[in-house]
Amino acid sequence: MYIGLTGYLATGKGVIADFLKEKNFLYASLSDVVREKASALKLEHTRENLIKVGNDLRNKYGANYFAKKIAEKIATNNNKNWVIDGIRNPLEVKELQGLKDFYLVGITSSPGTIVKRVLSRKRDGDSITKEQIIEKLNIEKGENQPSDGQQVTKCIDMSDYLIVNEGTVEELNSKMKHFLNLINGEDRPNFNEIFMGLCYLWAERSTCLRRKVGAVIAKDSQQLTAGYNGAPRTLKHCKELGGCLREKLGIPSGQRHEICRGTHAEQNAITQAAKFGISIDGGTLYCTTHPCTICTKMIINAGIKKVIYDSDYNDPLSKQILGEQTALELIRYEGLRNPTILRK
């Protein structure tokens, strides 16, 4: 078994790696390749220097260069369990997915928690101001970075299992233990994992050319309605009309939602309830993506009490409204993101 780790600074990747080492996993890090090169160049191993060297190597040899090197290393011990740390680019993920029984675990924390941890640990090379930490975090996320550079957010979106680390070391290890038990068949998926798994499945019905989204509304551990994004009933899909209207007009993601032929997954789940006379008051809405502004207003007025979402969505007004309201609880999903691994 090969478990890859991807995540932002100070999210707990090292803690999980140590947890797996205690279970006799061998350890390898893509960063080792970078450190070796930095040493050869006689550069101090600061985060800034390592990021630059890493980007230079990816630019010269390809974004999957470090993953190839690590794959070559572990090939000599392929009958052992390995934990592979330091995955920061989607092509590294794709390279390692070529390994039999490879699973990617994503680890994330809120920016506030990351800042607090970095300021408290005071490691060599860590930033000393909030602004510098946020700047480094944005670099890791991939903002204004080349496609072959740091793209941790995209890697997290490719993960088989996601951990949101806002608590103690014991809680973090317990979440990792749950994943191992899922793989080994010792744990059943929890209800959040079941309903989000249904969201992923419904998203496969989407006809959107930009982003496939699925949503499920549940209450008392039962699914009530579901939806996916696409053109309203009886209307032609965008593909049939020669492409995405928003792409043709150059409208960025997260803006001008009204200029679109499609209905969002959350909207479809809510209108399905209206069509069939199903009460969703007090329910929980699961969605593969953070709701947009229009969906947010509908969700609040529909009486939904909790929204559990997976991937982020760049809609500042939606986040502002959700930050101001007190009608519902917004939770970042964590758990199994690739239900198919349970059938291996």
The catalytic residue positions are 266
Asked if residue 152 lies in contact with residue 7, where contact means CB atoms within 8 angstroms, the answer is: yes
Distance of CA 232 to the CA centre of its chain: 29
What are the residues facing 331 on neighbouring strands?
A: 308
Q: Helices 293-301 and 265-276: crossing angle, nearest 10°?
A: 30
- Site of tokens 């991807």: 6
Distance of CA 124 to the CA centre of its chain: 28
Q: What is the DSSP code string of 170-198?
A: HHHHHHHHHHHHHHHTSS---HHHHHHHH
Q: Which of 145, 144, 146, 150 is nearest to 47 (CA)?
A: 150
- Site of tokens 């059943």: 188
* In the chain, beta strands by DSSP E: 2-7, 26-29, 82-85, 102-108, 161-164, 214-219, 222-228, 284-289, 306-311, 329-332, 335-336
